[in-house]
Amino acid sequence: MIWDLFRLALRNIGHRRIRSWLTVIGILIGTAAVVALIAVGQGLQRTVTEQVERLVGYNTILISPRGQGFGQRIRVDLAALRAVPGVRAAVAVRTETAYVEGPGGQGFPTIIGYEPAMEEFASELNLTITAGGAPVEPGTVLVGARTAREYGAEIGALLRIEDRPFRVVGILAQQVAGRGGFTPVGVPLNDALVIPYGDLRSLFPGPELVLYAIVKLRDGASTEAVKEEIRAILREGGERNASIIDFEDLTNRIQSLIGGVQAFLAGIAGISILVGGIGVMNTMYTAVLERTREIGVLKAVGAKGHQVLLLFLFESGLMGLGGGVLGLLLGLGAAWAALAIVSRMFQTPSGLSPVLTPALVFGALLFSFGVGAISGMLPARRAAQLPPVEALRYE
């Protein structure tokens, strides 16, 4: 009997193709919007997590200013950080602006301090050297691609930084805008100079204020224990504006932010599904009125009220399910298109792609079917409660 009702529902939908399609479109648009937003959001979360893992890593602690303003600095004692049990390496990113003279010109570029310990963090800082090597010895300098052209700084040339001579030992690779043209703190590497950290400290004596510090832990070290030691060191140094976060903290914050935006947008898109559900209800009410005599015939030949109810619920649910299937496909296509456009415009990592999980697929289909069935509940109840005699006499 259930199978017969199911086939009858499909036949009835097919007899009203145009109206059924218009009803399905209402569900389709809402489902597509929700699926696209969730797939894009999950894709962004996965990509961000992978990037954070690559840049920071599970065994890494980041010490940065607590505020959100650009260029804020914190006081960090690197020697004390390196002495903490469980710490394998610690580096700080410090930048200053200095007067520089070269064979081809002069100006005020950004100077970045470099330590050999940064070799472990070179990929994070985008220090890709195209010629020469790193500035390990005192009095050496690594120059950005644009700076090398503007200052005539070839390998072996002399630059004067704050009237102190530095020999060029390397040139950074040309950075493409949006693909590593900046360090994680926004310093344009094409226009920067990199000198030994000790030289930077001697050129600019006084309080050692850095943009941020990165601490690598030894295998098996307790992250929480090391963070407590770092907090104590910062308090002893008088630093009250530092934030200490690890990989888990950072990914949780980013995912919470993305998830909040995603939920807000999905809620807005859900309004479309509500509108589609109202469309299904309107269609089913019209169907009940148009098929009143048919309902009377069904009851006259022995159909029970619950069977008539199931018939109309099948019809409304199938229209919702049809909209869900098409909306799922359209939403996934829209998500791929949106991320492709974003990747091309902003030159984001190539791994950026939407995520379609089984939970999202079954959830979208079940939800769309449920919206259709619930929207058809009242019309179906009305059809089930029609007295057979009155239904047969209906004109």
CA dist 62 and 90 (Å) reads 10
Residue 61 lies in a domain: no
Residue of 162, 170, 167, 189 lying closest to 178 (CA atoms): 189
The verdict on 48 and 122 lying in the same domain is no
Those residues of the chain that have pLDDT short of 50 are 178-182, 184-185
Q: Which of 147, 179, 207 is at the close of a domain?
A: 207
Pair 194, 277 in one domain:
no
Q: Per the domain annotation, does 191 fall within a domain? A: yes
Indicate whether 289 and 156 sit together in one domain: no
Same-domain check for residues 113 and 16: no
Give exposure, 256-287, as e/b (b: 16+ Cβ within 10 Å).
eebeeebeebbeebbebbeebbebbbebbbeb
- The reply to whether 239 falls in a domain is no
For residue 11, being part of any structural domain is answered with yes
Residue 200 has a pLDDT of: 92
Please identify, among 172, 207, 242, the residue that sits at the C-terminal boundary of a domain: 207
Q: Judge whether 380 lies within some domain.
A: yes
State the Cα torsion 368-373-374-375 to the nearest 10°.
90
Shared domain check, 374 and 278: yes
Residue 366 has a pLDDT of: 87
Q: Are residues 257 and 379 in the same domain?
A: yes
Task: Indicate the number of domains in the chain.
Answer: 2
User: What is the H or E stretch that residue 44 is in?
Assistant: helix 17-55
Tell me: do 269 and 367 sit in the same domain: yes
- The predicted-structure confidence for 328-346, as pLDDT tens digits, reads as follows 899 888 888 887 877 776 5
Q: Domain range spanning residue 387?
A: 2-53+252-393
Q: Are residues 338 and 269 in the same domain?
A: yes
The overall pTM is greater than 0.95: no
The DSSP code for 192 is E
Are residues 168 and 256 both part of a single domain? no
**Boundary-marking domain end, from 175, 192, 207:** 207
- The confidence score (pLDDT) of residue 350 equals 55
Domain-embedded: residue 87: no
**Same domain, residue pair 257 and 374:** yes
Specify the amino acid at residue 86.
G
In a domain, 64, yes or no: no
At 196 the pLDDT is 92
- Summarised one tens digit per residue, pLDDT across range 140-189 is 999 988 888 888 888 999 999 999 999 999 988 887 654 444 454 456 77
> Does 275 map to a domain?
yes
pLDDT at 141: 93
